Amino acid sequence: MGLLILHRHHLPLTAILLASILVVESPTTTRDGMMHTILTAVVLLVLAAYSVTCIVRPHQLAAYIRGCQSRTGRFIQRWPFAGIVTKEWFPTYVRIMGVSVLLIVAVCASLLASAGR
């Protein structure tokens, strides 16, 4: 998982994995529980901001991703599914992924809220 954290394109996947781990695992002491809750809330807020950006500005985000893809080497550009970013339906895909991540954030937030009771 350390490699996923270092690669900037895997940030949403890494954040989702981290949020799911933080919500499921519960610490034993009160101080650890408070830090656990704060860290989980921060991760969920970052994910929510990312997903809202995907929903509200998919064309700008798609243009940024296309620019990053055009600056990569030919080896990376020949990977399977690397041509998805050049398709005209890519902003719709970005918007759908934003909605999906927002639903995951809502589920994790409800689990976090119910665990605090």
Q: Can you give the pTM of this predicted structure?
A: 0.66
Quickly state the pLDDT bin for 23 (edges 50, 70, 90).
Answer: low
- What are the tens digits of pLDDT across the range 24-80? 555 555 666 677 778 888 888 988 998 999 999 999 999 998 888 888 888 877 888
Q: Number of folded domains in the chain?
A: 1
Does the pLDDT at position 8 exceed 60?
A: no
Distance of CA 114 to CAs 47, 93, 101, 111, Å?
19, 32, 20, 5
Q: What is the mean pLDDT of residues 1-26?
A: 53
- Under 8 Å CB-to-CB from 16, ≥6 apart: which residues? 47, 101, 104
Q: Which pLDDT score is estimated for 4?
A: 35
Q: Which pLDDT score is estimated for 66?
A: 87
Q: Which among 111, 67, 112 is positioned nearest to 85, based on CA atoms? A: 67
The boundaries of the domain holding residue 23 are: 2-115
Q: Which pLDDT score is estimated for 71?
A: 84
